[in-house]
Amino acid sequence: MSMDLSEFLDVFLEECFEGLEVMESGLLHLDEGTDLEEINTIFRAAHSIKGGSAAFGFNHISEFTHVMETLLDQLRSGKRQVDQATVDLLLASVDVLREMVEGLKTDEAPDESRVAELKQQLEAAVNGDGGKSDQGLEEHAPDEKPEAAGEPRSLRIEIRPGQAMFQQGNDPLRIFAELAKLGELEVETRASNLPVLDDLDPTRCYLEWSARLTTSATDDELNEIFSWLGDECRVEIAPAEKSEPTGSKEADRKPEAAHAGEEKAASGKSAPKAEEKKSPSKGPTLVKSSAGRESSSIRVSIEKVDLLINLVGELVITQSMLNQVGTALMHQGGPEAEALLNGLAQLERNTRELQENVLQIRMLPISFAFNRFPRLVRDLSHKMGKQVELVLTGEQTEVDKTVLEKIGDPLVHLVRNSLDHGLEMPEVRKAAGKPEQGRLELSAQHESGNIVIRISDDGAGLNREKILRKAIEKGLVDEKEELSDERIDNLIFQPGFSTADKVSDLSGRGVGMDVVKRNINDLGGTVSIHSEPGKGSTVVIRLPLTLAILDGQLASVGQETYILPLISIVESLQVQAEHLKSVAGSTELYRFRDEYIPIVRLNRLFGVADGTDDLLQGLLVVVEAEGRHVGLFVDRLLGQQQVVIKSLETNFHQLDGISGATILGDGQVALILDIPGLVDLYYRTLNSPAALAANS
């Protein structure tokens, strides 16, 4: 049979990235007096990456990780104290290691000079003050008496792996190579479980091993060699008799004789009891004993999940069509019609439950996006000389995987902007009566079927006078135009807008905030900023929970049906004549609360000939786009429902003002409106040469 190694490689890469996240998170929490378990966690992650990369033959990764592992071992043994320089070096090494792993995925070679430089720095640290004496170990654990060096002992090691050992990327030869480094090793292979050739599966392990090791290594050093084996692998370490051979036929027939610390010689006589034999060992040690434990999760490719979601979407559409038929048959009456309606009601409940559960498969906690910021804030705050406290809340709030992947870059822009522009230098904060340490908070929560992310800081806030002056210089607003504070604040999302006095590698190049808005709009969301001078700013991002299903408001324009995303709707109202106002002959405005908003006639914008022209006979749907309100004029509203989004680009091409399409219960195709794109289309049409000529 053939093996698809690419599948195993994909699993290995995913586990590497997970291990790197664990290492980075743990290193960010390291400081003086850190719990030893934190360092052990980092060490185990590095050890797993080293073992897996060696099993796949990625020696450049395993060798680099080995040096990191050695330095971490000095930290956990107490030979080296945790300090800022060591943490910085290990964090930089994690970055290099991540580049090396990503290179395996993208077939791009990492920066060899940087890899060599970091490896040299790690080796220098390992061979420096961290390995010159054991004084740190004695101070770290005065009550523990370490194993005395130069007192070799003889150990018997029984290795009984699970059959999935090879599939998990483990190589027994590497185990024995590591054991051989600790002392004199003899190994015997037992093949009593080997099946006949016809039943042999080359991806499974049928062998067991019995080894005799003479070493002065500690139990911890021995256990660490086996710590990255699979959950089903069972390893026993016990003192060995001086006259005991490495393996025997009796041991081959009855490997369980070593269970619970009891040993039997080939003659059948009992071995001396543990208390009668003096040995530095603490007795039999079970390193792994997880046989029979089943995994609580499986890895499934995202393509399979997407296919399943698409099929459920088709099922939702079919069920909606059947409801239309059922409604028509209801008027005929009779037991058959009643039974059909009951069945359709049950189908609707089951379909809704199936749809919700399938969508949950793609949902991931937003912590996957938040986890990068402790490192980012730490590095940038040190670089800028600022003191910053980062607070993360709502990290377990779940969001669609696609949304999660695309929200990362906008969040990075916003966090960097808060660090650079928002939070002041310590001396400035102190002079203003604030704590020298600034506060930056990222929060996420569900609100009304959407996910709301807030990035808040207690910095200086936005300088509205400076923003307005820049906006007038760039021609974004008229000098005589009166703008609300909220409108002024949101001018920073305009393309090329920047108030930075000097260009830096963090900001001031006129890019960033407009990219944030565009990326969030592409996800069907909105972004706005609220600021209070001297007290700080808060950026609010609203996003749909998933990109596969949309909560929409159905509206008719003539014979056409359009779907407006509920996330963008502010209010629906009947047009009142006294609130209407006309500008330049054709631009229509409507007084909505304390502002005049433009009226967008969808029938004219989309060329629907039979749409209502009388504003008093239709409805105005007030939507929010780009920090301002716009009124969409429609004939009537038809109700709200969840719709399955179908991409137009797949089978047609992208249309301005349209984000996608869906199929309604009656089989009719309805277009889903892209509110920000629709507003842009309206203003482009309004300022077109034809429109300007008509208004002149």
Could you read off the pLDDT of 471-482 as tens digits, one per residue?
A: 888 777 777 777
From the list 692, 690, 476, 681, the residue with the least C-alpha distance to 584 is 692
Question: Which own/partner contact pairs does 381-388 have at CB distance under 8 Å and 24+ positions apart?
Answer: 381/419, 384/419, 384/420, 384/425, 384/506, 385/425, 385/426, 386/419, 386/423, 386/424, 386/425, 386/426, 386/438, 387/426, 387/436, 387/437, 387/438, 388/419, 388/423, 388/437, 388/438, 388/439, 388/440
- pLDDT tops 90 at residue 633: yes
Q: Which CATH superfamily is domain 550-695 in?
A: CheA-289, Domain 4 (2.40.50.180)
CATH number of 153-259+281-288: 3.30.70
The pLDDT value recorded for residue 634 is 93
Q: In the chain, what's the furthest Cα-to-Cα distance?
A: 113
The pLDDT value recorded for residue 283 is 41
User: Residue 494: what residue type?
Assistant: Q
pLDDT tens column, 580-624: 888 765 678 898 887 888 899 998 888 888 888 888 888 999 998
Buried/exposed code over 323-348 (b: 16+ C-beta within 10 A; e: otherwise): beebeebeeeeeeeeeebeeebeebb
From the list 73, 72, 55, 53, the residue with the least C-alpha distance to 63 is 53
pLDDT tens column, 5-44: 566 777 788 888 888 888 888 888 876 556 678 888 888 8
The DSSP letter of residue 105 is H
- The whole-angstrom separation of Cα 3 and Cα 8 is 9
- Residue 503 confidence class, pLDDT cut points 50, 70, 90: very low
Check residues 683 and 512 and name the one with the higher pLDDT: 683
Beta strands 669-673 and 560-565 are: parallel
Burial (0-12, 13-18, 19+ Cβ within 10 Å), 39: buried
- The whole-angstrom separation of Cα 490 and Cα 683 is 18
The pLDDT value recorded for residue 7 is 63
Q: Which two structure tokens, joined as six digits, stand for 576?
A: 């009142």
DSSP states of 211-247 as a string?
EEEEE---HHHHHHHHTTS-TT-EEEEEE--TT--S-
- The whole-angstrom separation of Cα 463 and Cα 460 is 8
Least confident of 83-92, 496-505, 652-661: 496-505
The pLDDT value recorded for residue 440 is 93
The pLDDT value recorded for residue 509 is 38
- The whole-angstrom separation of Cα 523 and Cα 220 is 50
Least confident of 148-157, 270-279, 606-615: 270-279
CATH number of 5-140: 1.20.120.160
Check residues 458 and 548 and name the one with the higher pLDDT: 458
- Residue 562 confidence class, pLDDT cut points 50, 70, 90: very high
The pLDDT value recorded for residue 651 is 65
What mean pLDDT do residues 392-398 have? 89
What mean pLDDT do residues 650-668 have? 77
User: Residue 113: what residue type?
Assistant: S
CATH number of 365-544: 3.30.565.10
- The whole-angstrom separation of Cα 164 and Cα 232 is 8
pLDDT tens column, 402-412: 888 888 888 98
From the list 669, 639, 671, the residue with the least C-alpha distance to 656 is 671
- Residue 249 confidence class, pLDDT cut points 50, 70, 90: very low
Share of the chain above pLDDT 70, in %: 79
Least confident of 126-130, 243-247, 464-468, 516-520: 243-247
- Residue 340 confidence class, pLDDT cut points 50, 70, 90: confident
- Which residues are tagged catalytic? 47, 69, 417
Check residues 163 and 67 and name the one with the higher pLDDT: 67
- pLDDT tops 80 at residue 460: yes
The pLDDT value recorded for residue 135 is 37
Q: What is the mean pLDDT of the chain?
A: 77
Mutual angle of helices 84-106 and 5-28, in 10-degree steps: 160
Check residues 225 and 637 and name the one with the higher pLDDT: 637
List all residues 6 or more positions away from 42 whose beta carbon is below 8 Å from its beta carbon. Answer: 22, 23, 26, 27, 30, 72, 90
- The whole-angstrom separation of Cα 474 and Cα 456 is 28
Q: Which two structure tokens, joined as six digits, stand for 304?
A: 């399979």
- Residue 508 confidence class, pLDDT cut points 50, 70, 90: very low
pTM of the predicted protein model: 0.59
